[in-house]
Every structure is written in structure tokens, then in C-alpha cells.
Amino acid sequence: MAHHAHHQPGQRNWFARHKVLTAAGAIVAVIAVGAAVGGGSGDGDDKATAATGAENTAEKSGGGDKAKKKADMSGSGTYQVGKDIKPGTYRSTGNKLGCYWERAKDSKGELDSILANDNVVGSGYVTIAADDKLFKTRGCKGWNLVTDEKTGTPKSEVSGNGMYRVGVDIAPGTYKADGNKSGCYWERDKDALHGMDSIEANENVTGSGIVTITPQDAYFKTNGCANWKKTA
């Protein structure tokens, strides 16, 4: 048991570092990220959803936000935290390949400036902290500030691409996804900061995958997987 606990932080660290390095390239070439990603990592999200027409949808996604619902923040832009946008947890839905965001501690634009980042397919959540300096978003649907209250009807089946709030978007329980190709990745998270410490557990899955989402989990994140269906 002690062994298992030793192994886990190293695994989390590898995923976190690997994601930062690949996602950083998304700033320069968001669309190219799917092709650039190798197999069998936490970045299976990019590769598994390299759908046709991704370029068009990525280009359109930033501009169509306002017309739809008046998002609290556009899906493309760089914002100063505390001036342009307020800190808090934001949600963006309906994203195709090409949506990238970044929390930054300064505006130098260096790798060390990045506090956390992600490539989003489907729905995504991110918590922007009060001491973050910048939030960058490219090719995403609009971001809306979410409240702490848990409203909504949690589902017992969800797409294999997306990030879901437990008790709001997805019900706690044991879920199974069958027939996964290489590149399916899931994560149970305690918050939406996307830091190393946010990950409670994660796994790369080939074939059938099973995960138990607890009521204490804050989010469930999944990329490049088949649909997850509740079994218990």
C-alpha cells in the first residue's frame, strides 16, 4: 500500500509536465496539436478527436460566442485577472479540437509563465485564481462563470471527451467505457485549477475501462474514450 502511494505522485507529475510541454505548442499552432501528440499519454484528448473540419470549427468558435448567449468571456483572447475578468470557475462547452487555455503568472510568455493549461474537447472547466495575472484562451467557445451551488440533473452516461462537475453534470457511481482505442485517458479531480495536486487519480485505458467517481470528487475529466455509462 505504501508502494502505491509512492508511485502515484510521480505518475501525476509526469502527466502534468507532459501536458504543459505539448499544450505550450498549441499557442503557436493550435490545429497542429492533434498531429503532434504521441500515443499513450494524458494528451490522448487531442489525438483522439482530430475530427474532419476541425479547422473551420476552431476558427468559428471564438466569434460565435456573443451571438449565442453573451458569454462572460470570449473564447479567444488574453485577459488580465482582476481587471478584464474576475477570478472564479469558468465553463466552456461544445468545443472541437483546437480549444486551448492557459493560466499564467506573468506576461513574459515563457514556459515558466504557465501555471496550468489544457486542450479542451467537449466541455471544460477552469478555476482562475485571484493571484493569477493572465488568462489566455484560443479557439474555444465562450466561457461562463459558474456558481458554487449544485443545480442541474446529473447524467448517468457522458461522452468520452469532456470535463464534468460531479453532482451537476455527472452522478457519482461506477462507470464503464467499452472498446477504447489507445489514447483514452481519465482523471478524477478535487478542483478545476488543473495543477499537479488537482489530480486524485488518473489512468490511460485501452479496451474496457472502469472508474468509480465518488461524491467527494469535484470533477471527472475524460479524453479520447468511448462513452462512460453508469453500472452501479
Q: What percent of the chain has pLDDT over 70?
A: 70
List pLDDT tens digits, range 26-36.
Answer: 333 322 233 22
Longest Cα pair distance anywhere in the chain, in angstroms? 53
Residues 180, 139, 217, 167: what is their CA dihedral angle, to the nearest 10 degrees?
A: -100
List pLDDT tens digits, range 164-179.
Answer: 999 999 999 999 999 9
- What mean pLDDT is reported for the chain? 79
List pLDDT tens digits, range 110-128.
Answer: 999 999 999 999 999 999 9
List pLDDT tens digits, range 58-90.
Answer: 333 334 444 455 899 999 999 999 999 999 999
What number is the average pLDDT over the span 204-220?
Answer: 97
**How is 84-95 classified by DSSP, letter by letter?**
TB-SEEEEEEEE
- Cross-strand bridge partners of residue 142: none
Report pTM. Answer: 0.72
Q: For residue 101, give the amino acid letter.
A: W
- Cross-strand bridge partners of residue 118: 101
Q: Could you tell me if 118 and 106 are in contact, meaning their C-beta atoms sit under 8 angstroms apart?
A: no
